[in-house]
Amino acid sequence: MKFLDLAKVYIRSGGGGGGAVSFRREKYIEYGGPDGGDGGRGGDVWAEAVDGLNTLIDFRYQQHFFAKSGQPGMGKQRTGKDGADIVLRVPVGTEILEEDEETVIADMTEVGQRVLLARGGNGGFGNLHFKSSTNQAPRRANPGQEGVERTIWLRLKLIADVGLLGLPNAGKSTFLAATSNARPKIADYPFTTLHPNLGVVGVDNAEFVVADIPGLIEGAHEGRGLGDQFLGHVERCSVLLHLVDGTAEDVVADWRTIITELTEYGGALNEKPRVTVLNKIDALSDEERAEKRAALDAVTGDPVLEMSGVARTGLVEVLRALRARIDADRLRLRADTEEPGPWRP
């Protein structure tokens, strides 16, 4: 299944049915009077956050959603049938935007959350509604109210506890594969990851969700490389895991590149708690490890951890550091009593 995190959708609520102009006609009843019924109400358009979805791929193949219109009223005081509602089922974490792609209509953050996008039109009054002592045979009825038509955008921001950041080939996908059951594509060339991946990791009988996004490069906020289109997926994270490639010539420059892109992107991403990790230490000598770690310690102001995703060294310490930064109410305790470990069986 392909990943899609942005979709344009056209919606229209149902129009109301028109009222009926009708008169009672029965044998031996000379003046039956009006008996035209009201029109039925048009269907609404709703959006609902459902469990089990993590992409908007369904909206690539269907972009138009039209609710049913109400049926017209009928004689014998019969009201027309209401039009059926239509529901757009979206993943949790979906933002619904106006056509300008800036105005937020709703933010679907919980399973079962529903929001009304377009209200159906009311049905028109039949001539029975206009009967009075001075007008006992009205020959007028109201038309139904028209439905609402609008264009909206759906933008998915994945709900994760930890967001992975780093330059291309920093080892983000390797870390996710080593600590969870996720199987992202791993190769020795840049931009191997082209869309976000999610993995559930466990440590010390607690679980949390990690999101791996494509690597950033200098100028990403201006659209270079894959741009900043995927940074929205880590806006909701409690903590960011910044992986720095230990085999790079200047680890401090690489670290500053990512921090600059977070600052330029905005959304308070640069203010989120971060855990900085010097990765790929299995390819470094003890002297190089100490030198590069000291350089990162000086610029980050916080202790820098060391890790190797390939050799699975230091994974437990990194996961425990992440768990300590995640809000307690977002952690999920494991039901089993297995020994704690950095990856799931």
**Residue 299, φ and ψ in degrees, nearest 5:** -90, -30
Whether the per-residue pLDDT at 261 is higher than 90: the answer is: no
**Residue 315, φ and ψ in degrees, nearest 5:** -65, -40
Rg (CA), the chain: 29
The verdict on whether residue 214 carries a ligand-binding annotation is yes
The verdict on whether residue 308 carries a ligand-binding annotation is yes
Give the residue from 116, 134, 156 where a domain finishes: 156
Collapsed DSSP state (helix, strand, coil) of residue 130: helix
The verdict on whether residue 309 carries a ligand-binding annotation is yes
Q: CA–CA separation, 155 vs 8, rounded Å?
A: 9
Same structural domain, 193 and 271: yes
Same structural domain, 169 and 21: no
The verdict on whether residue 282 carries a ligand-binding annotation is yes
The verdict on whether residue 76 carries a ligand-binding annotation is no
Pull the structure tokens for residue 74.
């009928």
- Kind and range of the H or E element at 286? helix 286-300
The verdict on whether residue 337 carries a ligand-binding annotation is no
The verdict on whether residue 22 carries a ligand-binding annotation is no
- Per residue in 171-228, pLDDT (tens digit) is 888 888 888 876 655 555 445 555 667 778 888 888 888 888 776 665 544 555 454 5
The verdict on whether residue 191 carries a ligand-binding annotation is yes
The verdict on whether residue 215 carries a ligand-binding annotation is yes
Give the residue from 156, 181, 216 where a domain finishes: 156
Chain centre to alpha carbon of residue 56: 8
- Per residue in 3-62, pLDDT (tens digit) is 677 899 999 999 999 999 999 888 888 888 899 999 999 999 999 999 888 788 889 889
- Per residue in 143-163, pLDDT (tens digit) is 999 999 999 999 888 767 888
Q: Domain with 180 in it: what CATH number?
A: 3.40.50.300
> What's the pLDDT score for residue 152?
95
The verdict on whether residue 310 carries a ligand-binding annotation is yes
* Domain hosting residue 21, numbered range: 1-156
Same structural domain, 190 and 308: yes
The verdict on whether residue 173 carries a ligand-binding annotation is yes
The verdict on whether residue 172 carries a ligand-binding annotation is yes
The verdict on whether residue 193 carries a ligand-binding annotation is yes
Average pLDDT over residues 306-310: 87
Same structural domain, 126 and 183: no
The verdict on whether residue 68 carries a ligand-binding annotation is no
Same structural domain, 124 and 262: no
Same structural domain, 192 and 212: yes
Same structural domain, 90 and 35: yes
Residue 341 included in any domain: no
Give percent above pLDDT 90 in the chain.
Answer: 32
- Per residue in 96-142, pLDDT (tens digit) is 999 998 899 999 988 999 999 999 999 999 999 999 989 988 999 99
